[in-house]
Chain A
Amino acid sequence: MTVRERIRQNISAAFYRHGLLCASYPVPIILFTSASILTCCYPLLKLPLPGTGPVEFTTGVRDYSTPSHESQGDLSERPDWYRGPPVAYIQQVLVKAAVSPWDNSLVPVDVFRSPLGRVFSVLEEIRNHVYTDRSLEALCLQVTDLLPGLRRMQAVLPEHGCLLVSPGNYWQNRRDLFDADPDLLKTVHQHEPKGLHTSATLKDLLFGVPGKQTGVNLYSKKRVVTYTITIALSSYDARFVASLRARLKQLHPSANCTLREDHMVHVHFKEEIGIAELIPLVTTYIILFAYIYFSTRKIDMVKSKWGLALAAVVTVLSSLLMSVGLCTLFGLTPTLNGGEIFPYLVVVIGLENVLVLTKSVVSTPVDLEVKLRIAQGLSNESWSIMKNMATELCIILIGYFTFVPAIQEFCLFAVVGLVSDFFLQMFFFTTVLSIDIRRMELADLNRRLPAEAGMPPPKPGPLRPRETPPPPRPSPHTITLQAPAFRNLRLPKRLRVVYFLARTRLAQRIIMVGTVIWIGILVYTDPAGLRTFLAAQVSEQSPLGEAGLPPHLGVAPVFPGGDPTSTLSGLPAPEPTPLPENQSQGHRAAHPEVAPVSSPQITWGPEDEELWRRLSFRHWPSLFSYYNITLAKRYISILPVIPVTLHLSPQEAIDTRHPQDTHHAPPPSIKTSDLQTDLTLYKVAALGLFAGVVLVLLLFCLYRVLCPRNYGQNGVPHGRRRRGDLPCDEYGYSPPISEISPLLLRGHSMDIECLASDGMLLASCCLVGHIRVWDAQTGDCLTVIPNNGLRRSSSSGCWEHRDGGGAVGGQDVDIFPIRRRTTPARPALFGDQPDLTPLIDTNFGLSPPSQALSSSGFDFGGLVEKAYQEHEPSPTLAFPPSPPPVLPPELPPQNNGDWDSSVWAMELRGNLIATGRSSGKLELWDAVEGSLRCSNEDGVSGITALAFLNNRIVAARLNGSLDFFTVEITKPLGLLQYRGPPGRGSLPPSPCYSSEDVISCQLTRSVQCAHQKPITVLKAAAGRVVTGSQDHTVRVYRLEDSCCLFTLQGHSGGITAIYIDQTMVLASGGQDGTICVWDVLTGSRVSHVYGHRGDVTSLVCTTSCIISSGLDDLICIWDRSTGIKLYSIQQEVGCGASLGVISESLLVTGGQGCVSFWDLNYGDLLQTVYLGQSSEGQSVRQLLVLDNAAIVCDFGSELSLVYVPSVLEKLD
């Protein structure tokens, strides 16, 4: 175990260093990688291009001998394939025939009817040729049946006999059928395939020359018909061939023929990779890349997904090439078709490492340096990567020791491919990833809010200090749902599957196990037989499995053992001296010199020497394939062509005419068919391209057409949302606008700093320090606690006044904001003063009596005082009585109020407001009466956070200490009563203190060094107090005895958000963007996810999920039990980070001047409520969810109360 651990540590360290290296020197490493890729691919240049073009080798006819099977080694210029006898020797008799002299009495058909007719006599001659008891029958390649599927061709191609093809085959080599044929062209063309064809057509096969050169058409200018009689010989008898040549030459002399006859050409055919073979291959690759595409789409949180996807593809491709190149370098010639195997290999091996690497690196803390992130990410995954690699290699090794050659070769390739893939992943991909992460970092830096100043934040609120948000970008407010297809399933399966796959490497393991089992079965069932079979297969290098045909059938039976004697030392000169023995119907050849100038000239040029070169390169393979003889990886020898010239007299042409020839309409489409052979190659390419494009389009359509929802950022541009211009989803459905109207609570003159609520009351505190208490139900202002020290001493609470106030009751709440809005002209600075406008007496007719003026001057004081007294009890305009006229913000401190320190934290329970001040003072105010009930000045460090639970108050201070206070009521206990209707049983009991009680607040315990650094978050629930601090730790205290239960470590940044609820669920988010879920009972970490780039600003949980928002303007929804990210919602930049959960499936977020409601199950925007007309600039920073389906949020200096019953109904 220790060894294992040590190895693990070493590997981890090595990967860490490697990651540092890669991230530190990206450019040199990429250069190095490219160089090594190129080096490894260099041997590929020696490999023949993957074309299918045949390879030729020319030997002399004179000293030709059939090459032996064994390679002699001395003849270096001999190609490898030139071993053993060829499949066949091809002897072509090239016939050029013309009717000459041409006269105008002849019809176009005459151009080819009689010349073609002469083929039968030449054929006869050839068939009957005998040289010293050797006839053609003995030498020629005997063919059996055509392939069973070729019934159409049965009438045309020879069967059960010599493979001898000529145009005569169209008429079954029978002259009478030819003569009776009314339309020769139709006969010829009826066998032509319609439409596109790539291999040799029947016309090519029979005529043996390219279709254009046959001259068999009605528009031939040259009026020379060219065709060949092709004889396939199984064995080479030089004397027989020579005598045949001599005989034919003698019979049909070619006057000016200087064709060379001393070279025979051996043509070797590669394995046929025809279009037919390419299409499946291309398909596999396209599917492969589709897989890569769909996989790399899941690469998240990187700067350029495309760049990384490209890098992944390059990695895969290069590893492919490298493995082939390296294998070639070490002398391994690939016999398996690597191109066919690798897609399958790649599908299961290639991408998971990349995904794992990316995910690992991305999920490292963002505040680290890029180098360190890469290194950390690498080292995190190093063990699993190495383990997998080792396992794979082991399995391959096992496969290698099966000693089955094919499997061995496959294993070799796999090893090299794996290693090179690993190499590239480690060097190339990691480096690219580091570059990408660095780019992202830079982009983040530009985007990110300015860095926080030093440790003690100047104004720590309940949340972290907020910087001014950057100006809103005109970016669409889109939701990035990761899984477009899974709206109905609450969990996007795709992500789960990817993470699951990446985590468990399921596919790899399955494949490994499968391979092992497969090899096992192979070896177990039939080791010996299989081995020999495969050995034969590999050595033959003939993967074409003609099922019924042993590999040698095409050659071996027709190759006599003692054939070397057939070598001829000397061939007769072109001028044939010996007369052939056999008789033939010697036709009189027309005299060429008689031909007039206009007559067709038969010329023999060097281009006629190897006319077969102009044929399709599939000419011979297709001819042989009809007889189930493959030429793949074998060769044929083409003997020098025998020229035959035929001159026919016009009379002869007229004699052979068919009665219908004279009124024969030319078929219209000959030209096109002639052209087709030339275009073969282009067509092949075009077809391949076409197939690829079709597949891509098909897949694209498949994905796009039925996936109209575009969840990406570059989706349907919504444009900047304006008020009243609500975003509609892609279905054109925009949520109803008018249902929710917010209730604005005005009164604060400055921005609202703290917000607290216990469900019934709502307390807010603005920057100046004014505290206002509102009725959470109606939005009425109940109490104002100004910071000027003019405390209200009237014992009559606002309740009475409100009930009897009459003017504005709870019923006309709707009027309230409207009415408030009508008088916005008053400067906010004077908001604390009563409205004195009614005091201005404009009725000068009723001016005060002059005697009063004369006696003491006009005394405004009484009037104003009266106004103040009238004004005071008004519930709607509950402005504090403030001294006229201008109120300086700093007033001399009073006895029992600390006025020059600002309120940093506020809590509300029952009707007690607890405020924590920057001076370290804790004050308890009566919410209803606005009187200071108690204050405690035990601490001097500013209170950054407060928690008020039952009768205990916990205060977190700036210096990291944590104070526990107990609120004690000295009056009899019976006065503790419970407020609220009985229907709200779910409410935590909020004790109500009557105003007569004497409330004291005593420090029960002070934990001096609760944290090393300032406490940023303090939350209390379920008898626990949880603190989060900038020292990266979370601490859990028991509320009763203020005993520290756990110190939770797991964040690598300061804690910024904590959530704890009655069910003891504790989640914390930190500046590192991580979210940890803890078990409060045991103190163990349940899950740990990297969610945000930048701080986690807010955290909320429901029973099934965790919702977090971060500085990256992303709201992420996580599965609570598994910690898997379900989806995320991209918000506008700087739209605040306030979150609230109204019900199990309704999320509310604050935005720029608006709050948005989301359906948690689907991530749908349900509704956006705009808080005010000036929606720009003001962002909702705090958001409280009250329990009557209302939310309250701050909106600049106003509070906004939004009821959401409609949304709730909709959800139900």
Chain B
Amino acid sequence: MYSGALMRRGPYISMITNRTMNLLIRAAMLFMVGVFLALVLNLLQVQRNVTLFPPDVLSSVFSSAWWVPPCCGTAAALIGLLYPCMDRRLGEPHKLKREWSNVMRCVAVFVGINHASAKVDFANNVQLSLTLAALSVGLWWTFDRSRSGFGLGVVIAILATLATQLLVYNGVFQYTSPDFLYIRSWLPCIFFAGVITVGNIGRQLALYEYKVNQEKTHQD
């Protein structure tokens, strides 16, 4: 029955239903999303001279800072896979507004937060950081609202902040006006928002696998 059903589905479908394959596809997609977001958002930061990379914005994006997008992509893939996995482990499936238009909205807000961090001029850094933190938490509240998501977001944000500190400390790149050791104080907020966003996308993608699996068991 199982193999028969599997055979009767096309090769494409069985590929999707294959668990590892599905995992790979999802990881690849998340990676692409991460790379893309990293490119775009990095541009935002670079053009405002918030982050300093070697000159010539575009060429830096494409050549000298080549390591940033892949890193972000990998992180995105990891986080995006981690979230649904964690949901399953904890046994509390994420239920809030699981639809693509919401994911798009989440991405838009995330880009907006980045935008704000790069472009809106605030009186002082504390204000900026507080605003961004509020926005990030708002993002979580609007699009995630799960405690596990919040916890994971905070943990990853802290880790990423640490990693950035180390990177800057070692002189890989730098920020123009660091106000939180070596980095900007709003960076954790951005990380948090990013984690929430990518987690949202990951969950949305995982929905398909979950669905397909359910169907499979249903047929069995």
Residues of A within 8 A of B (CB): 147-153, 193-199, 272, 274-277, 279-280, 283-284, 287-288, 290-291, 293-295, 297-298, 337, 340, 343-344, 347, 483, 485-489, 493-494, 497, 507, 510, 514, 517-518, 521-522, 525-526, 529-530, 533-534, 537, 543-548, 622, 626, 628, 687, 694-695, 698-699, 701-703, 705-708, 728, 730-734
A1190 to chain B, nearest CB (A): 25
B25 touching A626, Cβ below 8 Å: no
The number of chain B residues touching the other chain, given as a range, is: 35 or more
Q: Tell me which residues across on chain B come within 8 A of A525, comparing CB atoms.
A: 123, 127
Contact B41 A280 (CB under 8 A): yes
For window 91-117 of B, CB contacts with A under 8 Å fall at 95, 97-102, 104-105, 107-109, 111-112, 114-115
Given contacts A525-B123, A547-B177, A733-B9, contact A283 B48 (CB under 8 A): no
B121 touches A537 (CB 8 A): yes
**Is the CB–CB distance between B12 and A485 below 8 Å?**
no
Q: Which residues of B contact A705 (CB under 8 A)?
A: 25, 29
Which residues of B, 31-84, contact A by the 8 Å Cβ criterion? 32-33, 36, 39-41, 43-44, 46-50, 52-59, 61-63
Q: Which listed residue (A276, A343, A494, A706) contacts B58, Cβ 8 A?
A: A276
With contacts A274-B57, A546-B49 taken as known, whether A534 is within 8 angstroms of B121 at the C-beta atoms is: yes
C-alpha gap A151/B52 in the complex (Å): 11
Query: With a CB–CB cut-off of 8 A, which chain B residues contact A694?
Result: 36
Q: Is B210 an interface residue (CB 8 A)?
A: yes
Minimum CB–CB distance from B120 to chain A (whole Å) comes to: 9
Residue of B25, B107, B108 with highest tally of chain A CB at under 10 A: B108
> Within the complex, which residue of A497, A526, A626, A732 is in contact with B9, where a contact is CB–CB below 8 Å?
A732
Question: Is there an interface contact between B214 and A287, defined as CB atoms closer than 8 Å?
Answer: no
Is A152's CB under 8 angstroms from B131's CB?
Answer: no
B177 contacts A344, C-beta separation under 8 Å? no
Chain B residues with CB under 8 A of A272: 47
Write out the residue numbers on chain A whose beta carbons fall within 8 Å of the beta carbon of B16.
706, 708
Q: Is B57 a contact of A276 with CB atoms below 8 Å? A: yes
Q: CA of A743 to CA of B205 in the docked complex: distance in angstroms?
A: 46
Contact B36 A493 (CB under 8 A): no
CA distance A529 to B215 in the complex (A): 61
Which of A198, A280, A507, A701 sits near B111, CB closer than 8 Å?
A280
Bound form: Cα–Cα A726–B39 in Å = 49
| Distance A514 CA – B139 CA, assembled complex (angstroms) | 12
By the criterion CB–CB under 8 Å, are B99 and A628 in contact?
no
- Is there an interface contact between A149 and B173, defined as CB atoms closer than 8 Å? yes
**Chain B residues with CB under 8 A of A295:** 101
Q: Are A545 and B215 in contact (CB under 8 A)?
A: no
- Chain B residues with Cβ under 8 A from A194's Cβ? 59, 63
Smallest beta-carbon distance A312→chain B, Å: 13
Asked whether A530 lies within 8 Å of B123 as measured between CB atoms, the reply is: yes
Chain B, residue nearest A730 (CB): B13
Q: How far is the CA of A328 from the CA of B145 in the complex (A)?
A: 42
Q: Which of B8, B29, B47, B98 contacts A702 (CB 8 A)?
A: B29
Residues of A within 8 A of B56 (CB): 193, 197, 199, 622
Decide yes or no: A514 and B138 within 8 Å by CB, A280-B40, A534-B121, A731-B13 being known contacts.
yes
Residue of A nearest to B201 (CB): A702
Known: A148-B174, A284-B108. A340 touches B115 (CB 8 A): yes
Cα separation A517 to B138 with both chains bound (whole Å): 12
Give which listed residue, A147, A537, A543, contacts B52 with CB less than 8 A: A147
A521 in contact with B211 (CB, 8 Å): no
Instruction: List the B residue with the shortest CB-CB distance to A701.
Output: B29
CB distance from B112 to the nearest CB of A (A): 5
Chain A residues contacting B101 (CB-CB under 8 Å) are 290-291, 293-295, 297-298, 494
Closest CB in chain B relative to A18 CB, distance in Å: 29
A487-B214 contact, Cβ under 8 Å, with A279-B40, A347-B105: yes
- CB<8 Å pairs between A and B, sample of 28: A147-B55, A150-B55, A198-B58, A275-B58, A279-B39, A284-B108, A291-B101, A291-B104, A337-B119, A344-B108, A485-B207, A489-B95, A494-B98, A494-B99, A494-B101, A497-B102, A521-B127, A521-B130, A526-B124, A526-B127, A530-B123, A537-B121, A543-B121, A545-B48, A547-B49, A548-B176, A706-B205, A731-B8
Residues of chain A within 8 A of B12, CB atoms compared: 708
Contacts of A547 in B (CB 8 A): 49-50, 176-177
Shortest Cβ gap from A508 to chain B (Å): 12
B3 at the A/B interface (Cβ < 8 Å)? no
Give the residues in chain B near A533, CB-CB below 8 Å: 121, 123
- Residue on B nearest A272 in the bound complex, by CB: B47
**Pick from B97, B121, B123, B207: contact of A526, CB under 8 Å:** B123
Q: Which residues of A contact B173 (CB under 8 A)?
A: 149
Q: Provide the bound-state CA to CA distance between A147 and B174, in Å.
A: 11
Most chain B CB within a 10 A radius of its CB, from A274, A280, A733: A280
Bound-state Cα–Cα, A486 to B58, Å: 41
What residue in chain B is nearest A534 (Cβ atoms)? B121
Q: Are B52 and A148 in contact (CB under 8 A)?
A: yes
Q: Which of B8, B47, B55, B127 is in CB contact (< 8 Å) with A733?
A: B8
The smallest C-beta distance from A534 to any residue of chain B, in angstroms, reads: 7
Complex CA–CA separation, A280 to B48 (angstroms) = 12
CA distance in complex: A546, B121 (Å): 10
Chain A residues with Cβ under 8 A from B54's Cβ? 149-152
CA of A687 to CA of B62, assembled, Å: 12
B108's partner among A291, A340, A521 (CB-CB below 8 A) is A291
Set A514, A546, A708: member contacting B13, Cβ < 8 A: A708
**B111 CB to nearest chain A CB (Å):** 6
- What 11 additional pairs, Cβ within 8 angstroms, besides A147-B49, A199-B58? A151-B54, A198-B58, A283-B40, A347-B109, A483-B99, A485-B204, A493-B95, A493-B99, A521-B131, A545-B48, A706-B25
Select from chain A the residue with minimum beta-carbon distance to B204: A485
> Among B32, B57, B208, which residue has its beta carbon within 8 angstroms of that of A707?
B208
Chain A residues within 8 Å of B127, by CB: 521-522, 525-526
Measured between C-beta atoms, what is the minimum distance from A716 to chain B in Å? 11
* B63 lies within 8 A of A487 (CB): no
Verify if B159 is at the interface (C-beta below 8 Å from A): no
Q: How far is the CA of A150 from the CA of B100 in the complex (A)?
A: 42
Shortest distance in angstroms between B167's beta carbon and chain A's nearest beta carbon?
14
B211 touches A488 (CB 8 A): yes
| A732-B59 in contact given A279-B40, A283-B40 (Cβ < 8 Å) | no
How far apart are A463's CB and chain B's nearest CB, in angstroms? Answer: 34
Query: Which residues of chain B come closer than 8 Å to A148, judged between CB atoms?
Result: 52, 174
Tell which of B5, B99, B201, B207 has the most Cβ of chain A within 10 Å.
B99
Within 8 A of A (CB), among B1-24: 5, 8-10, 12-13, 16
Q: How many angstroms between the C-alpha atoms of A521 and B210 in the bound complex?
A: 43
- Asked whether, in the complex, the Cβ of B108 is within 8 Å of the Cβ of A288, the reply is yes
Q: Closest CB of chain B to A253's CB: distance in Å?
A: 39
Taking CB atoms, residues of chain B closer than 8 Å to A526 are 123-124, 127
Q: Enumerate chain B residues within 8 angstroms of A197, measured Cβ to Cβ.
A: 56, 58-59
Is the C-beta of B219 less than 8 angstroms from some C-beta in chain A? yes
B 134-167 binary contact with A (CB < 8 Å = 1; else 0): 1000100010000000000000000000000000
**Residues of chain B contacted by A699 (CB below 8 angstroms):** 104
Judging by beta carbons under 8 Å apart, are B215 and A487 in contact? yes
